[in-house]
Amino acid sequence: MKNINQIDIKKIKSPGGSLSFFEKGKEIDFNIKRIYYIYEFSKENRRGFHAHKDLKQVMWCPYGAIEIDFTDGKDITKYILDDPTKILVVNQGYWREFVSLKENSILCVGASDIYSEDDYIRDYDKYLEWVEESYNDEDTV
Ligand code: TYD
């Protein structure tokens, strides 16, 4: 999708383990003000079901495998984070749903702002209205 980028980041291997990293000005173009993570992620239950009006995020899966389905109200694109060297840089405006493909997967998220419920759209019909308005105002999505 236009404003979602899956990037393969570097892996520095040593006998003691592997290390990966990403940085502002390289893979991401925003400051991270909040980090949260979803863990004890059950395979049965989908999560997400919301969009963010302004929040930008970077997502990575340090353990396990997670499928993330994004839509802009028209097309659906599936991404799979199944390796710690894959990150997903997600601009604002996409409806998303997550599913864990492996028991105990962990999803980490770096977000451009602190938590604000006002930034969420949690109703899909309202999301479609918001997309319509946004397209009329500017090319938000
Ligand atoms: P939510 O973003 O809806 O999780 P998911 O999309 O994975 O289902 O958040 C779940 C709950 O946690 C919701 O009540 C809001 C709360 N929450 C915070 O208080 N702070 C945060 O930084 C986040 C991400 C969620």
Taking only the tens place, the pLDDT of each residue in 61-106 is 999 999 999 999 999 999 999 999 999 999 999 999 999 999 999 9
The yes-or-no verdict on residue 127 having pLDDT over 70 is: yes
**Residue 71, domain extent:** 1-9+29-115
Averaged pLDDT of the chain:
95
Query: Measured on CA atoms in the order 133, 137, 140, 141, is the torsion positive or negative?
Result: positive
Residue 1 lies in a domain: yes
CATH number at residue 1: 2.60.120.10
Catalytic residue among 3, 6, 20, 50: 50
52 is catalytic: no
Residue 140 has pLDDT above 90, yes or no: no
Q: Report the distance separating Cα 9 and Cα 5, nearest Å.
A: 12
- At residue 23, the pLDDT reads 98
Question: Residue 16 carries which DSSP code?
Answer: T
In a domain, 45, yes or no: yes
Q: Is the pTM of this model over 0.75?
A: yes
Which residue's CA is minimally distant from atom 20 of ligand 1? 115
Confirm whether 17 is domain-assigned.
no
